[in-house]
A and B are shown apart, each in its own frame.
Chain A
Amino acid sequence: MKILAIVSQTQDTEAKIQVSASGDSIETGDMKWIMNPYDEFAVEEAIQTKEKHGGEVVIVSIGPARVIDTIRQALAMGADSAVHINGDSFAETDSYATGAIIASEIKKLGEFDIIFTGMKIIDEESGQVGVQIAEELGIPHVSLVSKVSEINADAKKAVCQKEIDGGHVVVEVPLPCLITCPDAMNEPRYASLPGIMKAKKKPLTEVGIDDINFDGLGFGKESVSKEGARVKTTSIEVPQIERKLKIIKGSDEPMVKGEEITKSAQELIKLLREDAKVI
């Protein structure tokens, strides 16, 4: 089987964020870059699929030169080769152009059976790119798959389980298809030391903006920029919600104990009724 995993690089969620001087982006100066956590599930699922069914795993990633670290991590986990769509302008464009360009490069890779990617990226938190890529490729997608219960490469179909609002569905989908991976779909492996050594020698294809075939994309090279975006982020703020911080504590030690227990419960109810007016 030919298995693809689309991975992105993102900022660590624990990071304290600061708005850049331009006011429309987040300062990335000394931020730690990591593989988008949802894409780790995608890479793991791709590798497990290969282990079960044979074949190869190809990583596809878009972004500036720094993205190579994330690609190497995926290769060290066990992927076989990678395509890096490399350019600074890709970090500035909108989700629409990103998805269309990734899809156009995937088309150049020839036939494939299945694509895995994370349900969303944790910085933008939009979750539209994976689904859009499936549309551009003209293949079905199943989003938020909790488990791929069956892949039949010969019959060219897969069976997936997914959670929806208020229920659970089992879907049969023909291959090739694209699957988006939610949290806890599997347990992503760590890259081993030999894995890291081997990753350095695995084939890596670099694609620049001039290699992209814009005919048929519906937009030109100039659209791969902040200015060319269909949906433009014009400002970004870090809101400070003022909280009341009315905390009831015990008199001797922080925890309320003994007689204080019922009193504290009554006090909290009073606050919720009279101060917050929510019950």
Chain B
Amino acid sequence: MSNDVWVVADLKLDGTIRKVTFEALSEAKNKLVGKLGGQLCAVLLGSGVSGLEAELGKYGAEKVYVVDSDLLKDFNTEGYVNALGELIKQNEPAVVIAGNTVFGQDYFPRAAARVGAGVAMDAISIDLSGDNKLQIERYSHSSKAIQTQVFHGDKTMMATVRPNSFKDVESPATPEVISGSVEVNPADVHMKVLELQTKESDRPELTEAERVVAGGRGLASEENFKYIYELADILGAAAGATRAAVDAGYCPYDMQVGQTGKAVSPNLYIGIAISGSVQHFAGMGSSKVIVAINKDPEAPIFQKCDYGIVGDLFDILPPFTADVKALLSEG
């Protein structure tokens, strides 16, 4: 077993690296690498990914393991599990971290099972225990509780981390690139990606956005969600929704925030016509500042937000949006 700490790069559909990767590199360097005494390494998996190594070095990666293969195209789960599993078996790092994105949740626990490693999902803090075992904190029980989990045994310790939990801090290094040490085994890839559609959007992704504007069923129609999008765009925010709004067909499922949707923890969360159910708060309750606009003074959200207006969104939003726009354009 080496003392190295690895971070697996999480790529967007456009081939760029997600911010959570830089956050994980920064936090691993800050909390784990010094004490363990090994190197901070990045793992770059995908098809046509060579060239991104320098960007990983910018956040402190001293070494980058690259597996560039056609079999990793279109985020093929089995290819990723094979490549990461082989890399871990060959090099036996102490810790492996990845982003808790939709794809991370898919391939990462399976790769852990392949190498017999324990895995902790969706960590919001990472550290080492007294005897240098990985120790993490994570939400459980509809985000009403925070668990501390500590690893045991002498296997590689693996964890995914929640986006927006750590600061990304540049710490330039020129990484040594290790390419081709692992070949993806075609016999291990059984599934085929028949089609991959990218949703065009200029808005940031929900899980990594610093601001989120979300709407509930009170928006009353798909068309009225324009109020949400307009405010979101002025604030440079991601647009979200409650399950009720998604179920009513006002917006697509990938906008759903909550226990059954995405977990977000932005600096600013503005909930419009959202009542504030336990299930919705499970997905956004850790936001730093929560703002509510709702016409029902009894809505539970008013018991657990920072700022709010009791008012009709159709009255409040037009002047609010216009004033925010004016303010931000002043700079």
Contacts and interface: CB of A to CB of B under 8 A. Distances in A.
A57 B253 CA distance: 29
A243 B327 CA distance: 25
A128 B119 contact: yes
B167 interface: no
A141 B297 contact: no
Given A163-B254, A234-B149, A248-B307, 16 more contacts: A37-B260, A96-B118, A122-B259, A123-B141, A125-B121, A165-B102, A165-B205, A167-B13, A168-B196, A169-B74, A233-B147, A243-B305, A261-B315, A261-B319, A272-B268, A279-B328
A249 interface: yes
Interface residues of B, number: 98
Interface residues of A, number: 84
B90 interface: no
Given A141-B110, A171-B192, A264-B309, A247 B302 contact: yes
Contact of B319 (A127, A168, A170, A262): A262
Of residues B75, B141, B310, which shows the largest number of chain A Cβ atoms within 10 Å of its Cβ? B141
Closest 3 CB pairs of A and B: A230-B118, A183-B260, A128-B109
A78 interface: no
A14 interface: yes
B105 interface: yes
A211 interface: no
B290 A243 contact: yes
Contacts of A37: 260
B106 interface: yes
Contacts of B135: 234
12 contacts: A13-B279, A125-B139, A125-B142, A132-B109, A143-B106, A164-B103, A172-B191, A174-B190, A231-B150, A243-B290, A266-B319, A272-B291
Contacts of A231: 118-120, 149-152
Interface string B120-162: 1110000000000001000111111111111111010000000
Contacts of A261: 311, 315-316, 319
B47 to A, nearest CB: 15
Contacts of A278: 211, 267-268, 288-289
Contact of B260 (A19, A96, A182): A182
A172 B191 CA distance: 6
B319 A265 contact: yes
A142 B105 contact: no
B110 A26 contact: no
B306 A246 contact: yes
Contact of B142 (A99, A122, A174): A122
A182 to B, nearest CB: 7
Interface of A: 11, 13-14, 17, 19, 26, 37, 94-96, 99, 122-128, 131-132, 134-136, 140-144, 146, 159, 163-174, 182-184, 218, 229-239, 241, 243-250, 254-257, 261-262, 264-266, 268-269, 271-273, 275-276, 278-279
Contact of B105 (A143, A232, A237): A143
Interface of B: 12-13, 74-75, 77-78, 81, 101-103, 105-106, 109-110, 112-114, 116-122, 135, 139-153, 155, 190-199, 201, 205, 207, 211, 235, 243, 246-247, 253-254, 256, 259-261, 267-268, 278-279, 282, 285-286, 288-292, 295, 297, 302-312, 315-316, 319-320, 323-324, 327-328
A279 to B, nearest CB: 7
Contacts of A144: 102, 105-106
Contacts, number: 266
Nearest to A261: B315
Given A14-B278, A128-B109, A232 B254 contact: no
Given A17-B144, A26-B141, A279-B268, A127 B105 contact: yes
Nearest to B293: A268
Contact of B146 (A95, A218, A236): A236
A231 B138 CA distance: 12
Nearest to A267: B309
B157 to A, nearest CB: 8
Contact of A271 (B120, B302, B307): B307
B146 A233 contact: no
A245 B196 contact: no
A96 B115 CA distance: 12
B310 A254 contact: yes
Contacts of A241: 285-286, 304
